[in-house]
Structure 1
Amino acid sequence: MTESIETDLYIRNKREAEIAQRSDRLAARFANRSAHHDTEGSFPFANFADLHESGYLQLTVPRAYGGEEASLYELVLAQERLARGDGSTTLAVGWHVGLLHQLRYTNAWPETLYARFCRETVETGALINHLATERATGSPSRGGRPETKAVATKGGWLLSGRKTYSTLSPILTCFTVSAAIEGTEETGDFFVRSGSGVRVEETWNTLGMRATGSHDVVLEDVFVPDDQLVHRSGAPREERRPDEGGWLLHIPACYIGIAHAARSFAINFAQQYRPNSLTTPIAELPNIRRQIGEMEIALVTARTVLYSVADRWDREPERRKALKPELGLAKHVATNHAISIVDTAMRIVGAASLSRSLPLERMYRDVRAGLHNPPMDDIVVNGLAQRALDEVKITNT
C-alpha cells in the first residue's frame, strides 16, 4: 500500500511524477525480495539489474553524458519512494546516485575520469562508492587519519589497507578510497578498479540493513596510476569546488521511505483487523486513531523539513553553505521520527508485528541504522547550538 502519485503533495510536476512512478514500480518488485535477502544477509543482485534496466542508476548523471541530471529535490523524491519497498537496496544505491550528484557540483574528479565513469554507468550499470571508514579511525566525519597507506612508485601508487562498512562491495567494479600518503602528513583520494590485490571479506552480519553488502574491502599493494589520484590534501586544484553537502539527503530520504511503508502497513492492518470482541475494525478505536494521528504528525513533519530543505538547496545556490545546519536538521528529524513512526506502527499491529512473516520487524531493525549514518545526532545538535549562540552574541554586541 503506497501513497498515490495524485495525492502526494510533494510531487509538483510531470517529471517528478515520472520519477516517483519508476520508484514505485521498482519498490513493489523489491518488496517481494526483501525478506529473502534480509534472512540470508545476501546481496540483491537482481534489484540492481532492475535499477540499471530502468535507468535509475543514471538518475544524477549529467545530461551531457546520457543521464537524467536530477536535482537534489528529485533525488530525495526518488529515494524516499524507492525505500518504501526495500531499505537496504535504497540506502546502498543512494551512495552511488548521491556521490554522482556530489561530483556534478564539486568537480572533484579529473574531467576525463568523471566523463568515462558516467558513461560506464549509463551503458553498463557501473556503480561507485567512496570507501573511507576504517575500524581504527571510525567514521571519516570524525577527522581520523586513514591507516590505509599510499606509497609512491613508478608511474603511480601502491595502496594497502582495509576499509570497513564498504556498502555495495559485492557489485563494485571501481571505487574511490582515502589513504595516507607515506612519508607526508597528506592524504589522498584514489580511484581504484577491482582486480588484482583487491578482495572482499564478507564481514557484514548485522541487525538491520542486512542486504547492503557493506563488507570489508582489503587492498594489498594495489597499483593506481598517477592520473587516478583524484585529490591530494596538500595540492588542492583551483577548479575543485566545496562540497555543500546536499547529496547526503539521500540518507534521511531512505529512512522516511521505510517509515512511510510501516505507517501504511499499520493503517491497512487497522482498517481490516476486527477481533471477535469488537463489532468494527480496530481503526475505529480512539486509542488506535490517536496513534495513527501521532504517526501522521511525525511523518508530515519529517517530510516537510526534508523536502523544503532540498528545495531551498536547489533554488538558492548562493546560500548552500549557510544551509548546512538545515541539512543536518533534516537528517536528525527524519531519522528520529522514522524510528518513532515504526515503533508506533508496531504498537498498532500488536504482538503480530514481531513475526518475521510480516515486514514490520525488518523495518524496525532497518530504521535504527539511520542513527549511525552521517551526520550524527550529536554533531547536528552541537552545530545548531553553536549557530544559535553566535546569532545571539552578534545581536547583543
Structure 2
Amino acid sequence: MILSPELLDRIRSRAAGYDAENAFFAEDLSELRAAGYLAPRPLLEVVRDQRLLAAHAPATALGINMHLVWTGVARALVERGDTSLEWVLRDAAAGELFAFGNSEPGNDLVLWDSLTTATPVDGGWSFSGTKIFTSLAPAWTRLGIFGRFEDSLVHGFIDRSSPGVTTLNDWDTLGMRATQSHTTVLDGAFVPAARVSRVLPVGPNADPFVFGIFSSFLLSIGSVYAGIADRALELAVSAVGSRKSMKTGLAYSQDPDIRWRIADAALALDALAPQLESLAADVDEVVDHGADWFRLLVGVKHRATETARHVVDQAMRVAGGSGYRSTSELARLQRDVLAGIYHPSDTESIHATVAGNLLGSL
C-alpha cells in the first residue's frame, strides 16, 4: 500500500499549515516521492489513490495530479502501441517531476488553439507566451507546454533549466493554496526536437495524445473533488452526532431534516465511484467508446465537481457555525472545492460537447 494510514495522517496534519501560510507542500511531496507515489501506474489505481489523498489534503492531491496526468498520457499511448512518450515514463520512474503548462489567460479554446507562439529554430522549437495555473511551480523539472505555429499546434516539454523560463511569485488564491500554481512566462523557451510530442492542426482533434490528456486529466481531477466530498461528508456525520438540540435534548443526528441533508449528500456522492472507476478501467483496458469518449469524460468531471460542491455545502449547513471559522477544516474544504469550476472543461463547453455528441454540430 503506497498511501499508508500513517503517511496519510502526517499529510493531513500539515494541510492547514500550508493553507494558512500559502506555502508549497514540500514535505508531502518528499514523502510521496519516497513512497513511490509519483511512479507510473494504471489509471484506475491513480483515480482511487487520488480520491483518498484528496480526502486528507486536497491541495496536495491537486498539485500531484498534474504530474500524474503526464504519466497517464504516456501510459495511455504505450497501451495503444505508441511509444513516443516512453521517455516520460522513464524520467518519472527516475524521479523527474512533470507539470502541466497548457492553461493560458483568455484562451477558452483550451487545447484547440493557443495564444503562445511556437517558432521553428535549429534543433527544435522556441516558445513565447504566458501559462497560468502552473501547479507544482516551485518543484517541477519537466513542463508540458504547447503553442501555435501558423495553423498547427506544437506540443512539447521544457526543462526547468531552459533559458527563457520565468516563474512568477503570484499565487495568492481563495483555496488550493498549497499547489502554488504560479504563472509561467515563456520568452523564447527552447524545446529540442526530441521533446516535441505532437504537431497537430488547430481545432478539435481525436489524436491519441489528445485523448490521453483528456482521459487522464478529467478522471483524476474528478477523483480529487470526490475525495474532498468524502471528507466533507465524514465531518458532517461527526458533527451532527456530537451536537445536541436545546429544544429536544436529542443529538442533531436524530433531527429528520438534518438526516435528510446527510442522506441527500451521500446519495449524490455514491454515484461518483462507479463512473470514475469504470471509465478509468476502460482507459487502461483500451475499451473503444468511439465518439462518445469525450462526452463521457467531460460528463464525469462535471458531475464530480458539481457533486462535491453540493456535498460540501450540505456539510456546512448541518455542521453549525463553527464550520464558518477560517481555521475549520470544513471552511478550507469549502474554499478548495470552489476551484473545481475553473478546471477545463467549463460548464458551457461541457454542455456543448454533450449536445454535439447527441445532436451533431451547430
- TM interval, shorter chain, is 0.7 to 0.9
TM-superposed CA distance for 1:317, in Å, is 1.5
SS of the residue aligned with 1:219?
strand
Return closer, same or farther for 1:243/1:135 CA change in 2, 3 Å cut-off.
Answer: closer
TM-superposed CA distance for 1:30, in Å, is 1.7
SS of the residue aligned with 1:56?
coil
The structure with the largest alpha-carbon Rg is: 1
| 1:246 partnered with 2:215 | yes
SS of the residue aligned with 1:77?
helix
TM-superposed CA distance for 1:338, in Å, is 0.7
- Of 308-317 and 88-97, deviating more is 308-317
Which of 310, 322, 325 does residue 280 from structure 2 map onto? Answer: 310
TM-superposed CA distance for 1:23, in Å, is 6.2
Counterpart of 2:193 in structure 1 is 226
| Whole-Å separation in 2 of the counterparts to 1:169 and 1:225 | 21
Return closer, same or farther for 1:158/1:86 CA change in 2, 3 Å cut-off.
Answer: same
Which of 119, 141, 160 does residue 194 from structure 1 map onto? Answer: 160
Counterpart of 1:185 in structure 2 is 151
TM-superposed CA distance for 1:49, in Å, is 0.5
Counterpart of 2:101 in structure 1 is 131
Return closer, same or farther for 1:234/1:355 CA change in 2, 3 Å cut-off.
Answer: closer
| Whole-Å separation in 1 of the counterparts to 2:232 and 2:349 | 28
| Whole-Å separation in 2 of the counterparts to 1:42 and 1:54 | 22
TM-superposed CA distance for 1:278, in Å, is 4.7
Asked if 1 retains the 8 angstrom alpha-carbon contact of 2:74 and 2:89, the reply is no
TM-superposed CA distance for 1:305, in Å, is 2.9
Counterpart of 1:3 in structure 2 is none
- Name the amino acid aligned to 1:48: L
Identity %: 27
Equivalences for residues 1-397 of structure 1 within 5 A: 18=1, 22=3, 24-58=5-39, 61=40, 69-70=41-42, 72-106=43-77, 111=83, 114-124=85-95, 126-138=96-108, 140-141=110-111, 143-146=112-115, 148-181=116-149, 184-195=150-161, 196-233=163-200, 241=208, 243-244=210-211, 245-247=214-216, 248-274=218-244, 278-315=248-285, 317-319=287-289, 321-389=291-359
Tell me the TM-score normalized by structure 1: 0.81
- Of 331-340 and 266-275, deviating more is 266-275
Asked if 2 retains the 8 angstrom alpha-carbon contact of 1:325 and 1:384, the reply is yes
Asked if 2 retains the 8 angstrom alpha-carbon contact of 1:43 and 1:170, the reply is yes
Paired residues in the alignment total 351
Asked if 1 retains the 8 angstrom alpha-carbon contact of 2:53 and 2:61, the reply is yes
SS of the residue aligned with 1:159?
strand
- Which blocks of at least 5 consecutive residues in structure 2 are unaligned? none
Return closer, same or farther for 1:290/1:326 CA change in 2, 3 Å cut-off.
Answer: same
Asked if 1 retains the 8 angstrom alpha-carbon contact of 2:73 and 2:209, the reply is no
| Whole-Å separation in 1 of the counterparts to 2:348 and 2:201 | 30
Report Cα offsets for 1:56-108 as digits up to 9, x if no partner. 100xx2xxxxxxx32x3222111111100111111111121122111222359
| Whole-Å separation in 2 of the counterparts to 1:312 and 1:110 | 18
- Which blocks of at least 5 consecutive residues in structure 1 are unaligned? 1-17, 62-68, 391-397
Report Cα offsets for 1:239-275 as digits up to 9, x if no partner. x735433212001100010011011011011112235
